[in-house]
């Protein structure tokens, strides 16, 4: 039993109050009279042993003072009677030979009346006090609603420095400059430079924005206040604005200082958004934050660092220069950044001699820092589960698969027909991808269920890509439809396994038409909003910014792209039907094929002919002048890119710029 927690709770106070009330009542009841029965009291009165009597009305009590002390009860006794016996008691007292008697009618004193009047309010006040104490964290914080909840990161706290941050070199350089601003402000003021008031870190989840702020705190050597955006918002009106004022007052008193607000979108959303306007309390908090940032004196060295995953929903007044002068994007790391991140997270983990983190970084394009940390952690867990001592390549490959597609579903047993359909489905994806001229190499095909997929095909780029061509998108559409086409060709009866493929292909085709300007009929026009109001389910409050006639053209163009991809996949699968049958039978036998086995199977593949040149308009013919030559680079060995690891779990597919697309993933 946790006695400290018990003593901190309300039970000890309740028990103490009960004891005090019991002792007080006992003392009050000790008036010197011994209680006897009604019969004994009447016998005392009738035997002339009573010197004086007092009848107390309301309480039906008679107090007797005896002429001589009784051996058992003493000289003072009292008894009680019921109301119907009152006449008998009065008659007995009148008939007795008493020196004196008296009648007492109890009168409520002013103090008692006041006590009973105020007691309900006192009880309500105690309850309110207790609730506020619990809400505010107990102790002496009751009634301090407007006090800031920011934590001061001191030197004794566990420190993180820029040396612990990898894969975000640009952000580190910008924050290192912030550190210099605080340590040597005169250096910048001498040339007329103004110290930035705010730094906004934005980017996808898991890219290390909070870690960068912690590293800045460890490097700065100045007071560092950290708070979450949600801590400003309370159930009481005006608390958020008061906490903002208190926070910046503390920072100004201890300047130079850094204030870090994590998830600032909780309080910094666009004002007036949604039906009926926004939340007034949240908007008041935001207004106070804007005022405080504008109110910085030129000589007050206080810098605000904020982090968010949603810069698109922030109020424009918050983002303007003069408030957030620096806006630093923290994106997913590149190949070199991933290698550095893996090196940082591999510290303290026993790695096998054959493990190359650079190879693992090539297998994980699009992974964030959190993803990479999770990969190494999953590999360590798998190693411990198998009672091994070193983390090897096989564990790392399985960890990549688990992070990307989920754990393997060994309990999901398919019958032979479903297994055959899945083999042809995934084989259709892989063969269509291999027969295209602008796709990355196929690195893995499996029919083992994992996550919500009955099987999947993996395509791994040899290097990081930051843009994608129209032909590459068309190839993605073609091999996305390869699974459905294989089912139509072989079984003449398609299944529901292609639903996810159709969804992803439709999404790519619609983006090609409405966002990328890759349709001659629609033209290079951005159609549709990137995001609607955040309080209206984003797209629910979106107004269509194009005509119904153009919407019909868009649907026709999307349908044409899907049909073209369908035809191309049909063509290449029929041209290579022998390879498709061989691939399906091999999958049924081995269940998983790696890049080496796939390369041997796809060596005789007859590729799709080159597509005709696409023109955005007939009036804009293609120029015949070639681009300037580019210095040649050393070719990348595919075996090195894939790690050259002989394993049952080859590397996972990359995350494309269009989202997490896994060709051939069949929903459960």
Q: Which residues are catalytic?
A: 426
DSSP for 4-20 reads HHHHHSSHHHHHHHHHH
Please report the sign of the dihedral spanned by the C-alpha atoms of residue 431, residue 435, residue 436, residue 437. Answer: positive
Tokens of 646: 């002989």
DSSP for 442-499 reads EEEEE-S-BTTBS-EEEE--SS--S---HHHHHHHHHHHSHHHHHHHHHHSS--GGGH
Backbone angles phi, psi at 391, to 5 degrees: -85, 120
Distance separating alpha carbons of residues 360 and 231, to the nearest angstrom = 40
Place of tokens 């997490």: 660
Tokens of 303: 């810098």
Tokens of 173: 């350089």
Contacts of 600 (CB under 8 A, 6+ apart): none
Distance separating alpha carbons of residues 605 and 580, to the nearest angstrom = 10
Contacts of 46 (CB under 8 A, 6+ apart): 92, 96
Give bridge partners of residue 586 from the DSSP assignment. Answer: none
Q: 493, 487 in Cβ contact below 8 A?
A: yes
Nearest alpha-carbon partner for 207 in 375, 369, 367: 369
Tokens of 246: 């208190």
Nearest alpha-carbon partner for 602 in 435, 365, 424, 360: 435
Distance separating alpha carbons of residues 255 and 181, to the nearest angstrom = 12
Number of Cβ atoms within 10 Å of the Cβ of 261: 27
C-alpha dihedral, 323 to 328 to 330 to 336, nearest 10°: -160
Distance separating alpha carbons of residues 260 and 455, to the nearest angstrom = 45
**Cα-based angle 497, 456, 584 (whole degrees, multiple of 5):** 85
Cis before 256? omega within 30 = yes
Tokens of 404: 């990307």
DSSP code for 272: T
Tokens of 408: 């393997």
Nearest alpha-carbon partner for 657 in 407, 473, 506: 473
At 132 the three-state DSSP class reads helix
Distance separating alpha carbons of residues 652 and 361, to the nearest angstrom = 11
DSSP code for 263: S
Place of tokens 């609603």: 145
Provide the CA 64 distance to its chain's centre, in angstroms.
78
Tokens of 604: 């005789």
């Amino acid at each position: 039993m946790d006695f400290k927690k018990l003593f901190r709770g309300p039970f000890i106070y309740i028990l103490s109050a009960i004891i005090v009330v019991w002792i007080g009542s006992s003392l009050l009841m000790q008036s010197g009279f011994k209680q006897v029965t009604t019969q004994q009291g009447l016998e005392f009165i009738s035997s002339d042993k009573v010197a004086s009597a007092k009848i107390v009305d309301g309480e039906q009590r008679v107090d007797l003072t005896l002429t001589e002390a009784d051996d058992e009860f003493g000289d003072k006794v009292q008894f009680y009677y019921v109301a119907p016996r009152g006449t008998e008691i009065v008659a007995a007292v009148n008939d007795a030979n008493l020196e004196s008697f008296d009648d007492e009618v109890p009168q409520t004193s002013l103090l008692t009346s006041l006590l009973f009047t105020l007691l309900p309010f006192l009880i309500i006040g105690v309850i309110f006090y207790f609730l506020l104490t619990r809400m505010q964290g107990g102790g002496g914080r009751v009634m301090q609603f407007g006090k800031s909840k920011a934590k001061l990161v001191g030197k004794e706290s566990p420190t993180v420095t820029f040396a612990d941050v990898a894969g975000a070199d640009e952000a580190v350089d910008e924050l290192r400059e912030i550190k210099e601003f605080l340590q040597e402000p005169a250096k910048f003021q001498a040339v007329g430079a103004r110290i930035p008031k705010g730094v906004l870190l934005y980017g996808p989840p898991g890219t290390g924005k909070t870690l960068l702020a912690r590293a800045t705190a460890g490097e700065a050597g100045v007071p560092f206040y950290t708070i979450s955006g949600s801590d400003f918002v309370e159930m009481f009106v005006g608390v958020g604005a008061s906490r903002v004022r208190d926070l910046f007052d503390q920072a100004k008193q201890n300047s130079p200082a850094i204030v870090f607000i994590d998830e600032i979108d909780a309080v910094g959303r666009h004002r007036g958004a949604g039906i009926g306007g926004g939340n007034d309390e949240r908007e008041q908090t935001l207004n106070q934050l804007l005022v405080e940032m504008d109110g910085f004196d030129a000589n007050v060295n206080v810098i605000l660092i904020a982090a968010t995953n949603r810069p698109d929903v922030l109020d424009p007044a918050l983002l303007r220069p003069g408030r957030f002068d620096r806006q630093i994007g923290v994106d997913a790391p590149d190949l070199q950044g991933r290698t550095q991140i893996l090196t940082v997270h591999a510290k303290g983990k026993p790695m096998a001699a054959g493990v190359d983190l650079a190879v693992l970084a090539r297998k994980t394009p699009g992974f964030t820092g959190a993803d990479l940390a999770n990969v190494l952690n999953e590999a360590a867990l798998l190693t411990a589960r198998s009672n091994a001592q070193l983390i090897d390549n096989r564990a790392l490959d399985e960890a990549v698969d688990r992070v990307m597609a989920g754990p393997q579903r060994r309990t999901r047993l398919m019958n032979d027909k479903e297994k055959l359909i899945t083999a042809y489905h995934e084989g259709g994806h892989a063969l269509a991808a291999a027969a295209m001229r602008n796709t990355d190499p196929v690195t893995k095909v499996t029919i083992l269920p994992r996550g919500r997929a009955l099987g999947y095909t993996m395509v791994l780029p040899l290097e990081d890509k930051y843009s994608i061509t129209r032909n590459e998108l068309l190839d993605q559409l073609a091999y996305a439809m390869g699974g459905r086409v294989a089912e139509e060709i072989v079984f003449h009866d398609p299944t529901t396994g292609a639903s996810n493929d159709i969804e992803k292909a439709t999404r790519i085709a619609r983006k090609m038409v409405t966002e990328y300007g890759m349709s001659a009929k629609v033209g290079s026009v951005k159609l549709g909003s990137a995001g609607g109001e955040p309080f209206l389910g984003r797209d629910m409050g979106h107004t269509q910014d194009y005509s119904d006639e153009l919407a019909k053209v868009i649907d026709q163009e999307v349908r044409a792209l899907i049909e073209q991809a369908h035809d191309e996949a049909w063509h290449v699968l029929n041209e290579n039907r022998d390879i498709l049958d061989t691939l399906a039978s091999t999958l049924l036998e081995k269940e998983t094929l790696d890049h080496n086995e796939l390369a041997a199977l796809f060596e005789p593949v007859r590729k799709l002919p080159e597509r005709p040149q696409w023109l955005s308009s007939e009036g804009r013919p293609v120029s015949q002048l070639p681009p300037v030559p580019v210095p040649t680079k050393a070719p990348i060995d595919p075996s090195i890119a894939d790690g050259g690891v002989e394993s049952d779990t080859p590397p996972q597919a990359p995350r494309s710029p269009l989202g997490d697309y896994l060709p051939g993933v069949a929903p459960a």
